[in-house]
Amino acid sequence: MSHADPNCIFCKIAEGQIPSRKVYEDEELLGFHDIRPHAPVHFLLIPKVHVPSLQEVGPEHEALLGRMLALAPRLARENGADNGFRVVVNTGPDGGQEVYHLHVHVMGGPRPWRVG
Ligand code: 5GP
Ligand code: ZN
């Protein structure tokens, strides 16, 4: 079963067709640095399966979402955000979502910095 959307940039990153600076990878999840960071530490966590946004999440994704959030503190610490961080999931047009493959932003590092 293929989970990839051929037009999706994050599916291409998950499949290694587009390079990324990885912070984490397992069978279900991938973490990589945001190409345009808004904070000293800014990485994204995505499921490898193509889910467009939080609006398409179903009961079958609950464990996956839980794992993504549970991983955030460990990866934040390992990547230099050891004094707290912010988690953001932009969802839909009014949520400012640009890439329609579910992703969790993890942003931290020494302040000042702010997300616009
Ligand atoms: P959002 O959809 O939550 O508004 O933002 C998508 C995020 O993905 C942006 O912060 C943007 O910088 C990041 N992004 C978009 N394309 C790429 C890419 O090709 N590589 C990486 N590493 N990040 C990307
Ligand atoms: Zn995708």
The tens digit of pLDDT for each residue in 24-63 reads: 999 999 999 999 999 999 999 999 999 999 999 999 999 9
- Predicted TM-score of the model (pTM): 0.96
Question: ipTM of this predicted complex?
Answer: 0.99
Within a domain: 40: yes
Domain assignment of residue 45, yes or no: yes
On whether residue 115 sits in a domain, the answer given is: no
- Tell me the CA–centroid distance for residue 85 and ligand 1, in Å: 18
CB neighbours of 19 closer than 8 A, spacing ≥ 6?
Answer: 13
What range defines the domain where residue 85 resides? Answer: 9-108
CATH number at residue 55: 3.30.428.10
Inside any domain, residue 23 = yes
Asked if residue 1 is part of any domain, the answer here is no
Q: Is 50 inside any structural domain? A: yes
Do 39 and 115 touch, CB atoms closer than 8 A? yes
Q: How many domains does the chain have?
A: 1
Q: Measuring from each residue's beta carbon to the nearest atom of ligand 1, which residues come in under 6 Å?
A: 9, 18, 20, 32-36, 90, 96-99
Residue nearest (by alpha carbon) to ligand 1 atom 17: 35
Flag whether 80 is in a domain: yes
> What pLDDT, in 10s, does the model give residues 95-114?
999 999 999 999 999 998 98
Residue 77: phi, psi to the nearest 5?
Answer: -60, -45
Residue 77, CA distances (Å) to 16, 25, 27 in order: 25, 16, 22
